[in-house]
Amino acid sequence: MHLPIFSPNELQVIAEMPDFFGGPAIPIYNFPVAGKEAIKALYERRPIWQVMLGIGAEVKNFTPSINPDNVARAFVFDGTVIPGVSNLTGGKDLFGIEWEYIPTAGGSMVRPGRPFIEDANDIEKKLVWPDINSWDWEGAAKVNEQYLSGTTAYAAMFMNGYFERLISFMDFEGAILAMVDEEQTDAVKRFFDKLSDLYIRMIDKFTTYFPQVDIYTIHDDWGSQKDTFFSPAVVNEMIVPFMKRVTGFIHSKGKFADLHCCGSNIKQAPNMIEAGFDSWTPQTMNDIEKIYHLYGDRIIIATMPKIYDVNNSTEEKQRAYARAYANKYCRPDKPSSLSMYSMPRGGDNILTNAFRAELYMQSRINYSGPP
């Protein structure tokens, strides 16, 4: 696809969308191509401008209510709910595990202290696997026709991943032990292998009934504020082979694989790459600049602008910060995305209108050439 060089007419704001975190509305510029095309171009490493994966102007979440995990986790975003009103429910997940919605946390959790399974060797005899063929896929496709009719890319998230799924059965302490206990690891591997089968069947259904979905995000947290939960060797043995099967299937369908992995996980970046993921959004406790420097040529990293004092920065300064960010991270030979963590839930939002406009212009120039 041949794109024209940047034109100032592109800075015309033609629409706005709500900020997921409750901040000022996000401007939609007079983009030269649809958001869906811009996302595809990024993943194919021929970027057009600096997009934000997940919650930006170019991507829309799709976590439909047909998947019980999304209902249980109070994270349904589809044509059946009013976000922030009718999707804050909790309930039973894919395996019948009860999740409780916690208003102060803005999410759901399994009540700790009463694990469904205490020994991973009991998984095979205690677990009832879901019958996804009995779900009303045709009805779900029909009710989401309008929701999926836009020109953005659509990202479907699988909320409970691998280690997180194990936590939902065993509580954190039991799950972390099962990952390294020689008497339990074989059972964990058998479970993860069968879980991959389930995820592949679900993604196959998605590609049939929701072909508009472009990105599949696997949600699996591997770290705390200070460090990863387990060594890279453990992840490489216990998780990577099973994730790799799923990402391989995603790629076989012409789609992209994204990893949502919270915590300090720079040590795990090589495992993310080996597992076949196309992109990762590191949280801010990570040295994101270092991650980009080391691994940005093999996995698309969501990068962060410099945090600055918005209230004491002139528009000229804000634009200068945006140019500096673009010149560091918007490189045609090593593209990145803009991190959603640039829009904090509290405090001043550094993504002012001036910053956004300058970033859009400078990234377009860097990626596609000057006017």
pLDDT tens-digit profile, the chain (371 residues): 567 789 999 999 999 988 776 777 889 999 999 999 999 999 999 999 999 997 789 999 999 999 999 999 999 999 987 665 666 788 999 999 999 998 887 789 998 889 999 999 999 999 999 999 999 999 999 999 999 999 999 999 999 999 999 999 999 999 999 999 999 999 999 999 999 999 999 999 999 999 999 999 999 999 999 999 999 999 999 999 999 999 999 999 999 999 999 999 999 999 999 999 999 999 999 999 999 999 999 999 999 999 999 999 999 999 999 999 999 999 999 999 999 999 865 557 899 999 999 999 999 999 987 66
Domain membership of residue 148 (yes or no) is yes
The verdict on residue 63 lying in a domain is no
> Nearest Cα to 48, choosing from 361, 328, 371?
361
Distance CA 229, CA 249 (A): 27
User: Are residues 145 and 272 both part of a single domain?
Assistant: yes
Verify that 272 and 294 share a domain, yes or no.
no
Does residue 195 share a domain with residue 243? yes
| 367 part of a folded domain | yes
Point out the domain boundary residue: 247, 280, 313.
Answer: 280
**DSSP bridge pairs for 108:** 101
* Residue 194: strand, helix, or coil: helix
* Same domain membership, residue 134 and residue 252: yes
Q: Is residue 67 part of a domain?
A: no
User: Has residue 60 been placed in a domain?
Assistant: no
β-partners of residue 91 are 99
Both 266 and 350 in a single domain?
A: no
Both 177 and 208 in one domain: the answer is: yes
Residues 146, 79: contact at Cβ < 8 Å? Answer: yes
Residue 30 lies in a domain: yes
- Dist CA 238 CA 120 (whole Å): 13
Residue 253 lies in a domain: yes
State which residues form the domain around 250: 109-157+166-280
Nearest to 130 by CA among 175, 195, 177: 195
Q: What is the DSSP letter of 303?
A: E
Residue pLDDT, tens place only, 324-349: 999 999 999 999 999 999 986 555 78
Nearest C-alpha neighbor of 80 from the set 101, 63, 62, 65: 65
Burial class (CB in 10 A: 0-12, 13-18, 19+), 225: exposed
When divided into structural domains, the chain yields a total of 2
**Burial class of residue 295 (count of CB atoms within 10 Å of its CB; 0-12, 13-18, 19+):** middle
Percent of the chain with pLDDT over 70: 96
State the number of CA atoms in the 13 A half-sphere of 7 facing the CB.
9
Q: What are phi and psi of 62, to 5 degrees?
A: -135, 100
**Do residues 193 and 329 both lie within one domain?**
no
Q: Does 242 lie in the same domain as 143?
A: yes
Contact assessment for residue 269 and residue 288, using Cβ atoms and an 8 Å cutoff: no
N-to-C CA span, the chain: 18
Q: Is residue 79 included in any domain, yes or no?
A: no
The residue among 223, 257, 280 that closes a domain is: 280
Q: Is-contact 223 268, C-beta < 8 A? A: yes
273 and 295 together in one domain: no
Where does 54-168 show beta strands of DSSP type E?
59-61, 91-92, 98-102, 107-109, 153-158
Residues 147 and 205 in one domain: yes
Distances (CA, A) of 322 to 87, 208, 301, 304, 330: 35, 41, 18, 11, 11
Q: Do 315 and 272 share a structural domain?
A: no
Same domain, 203 and 242: yes
Q: Among the three residues 280, 307, 337, which one is the final residue of a domain in this structure?
A: 280
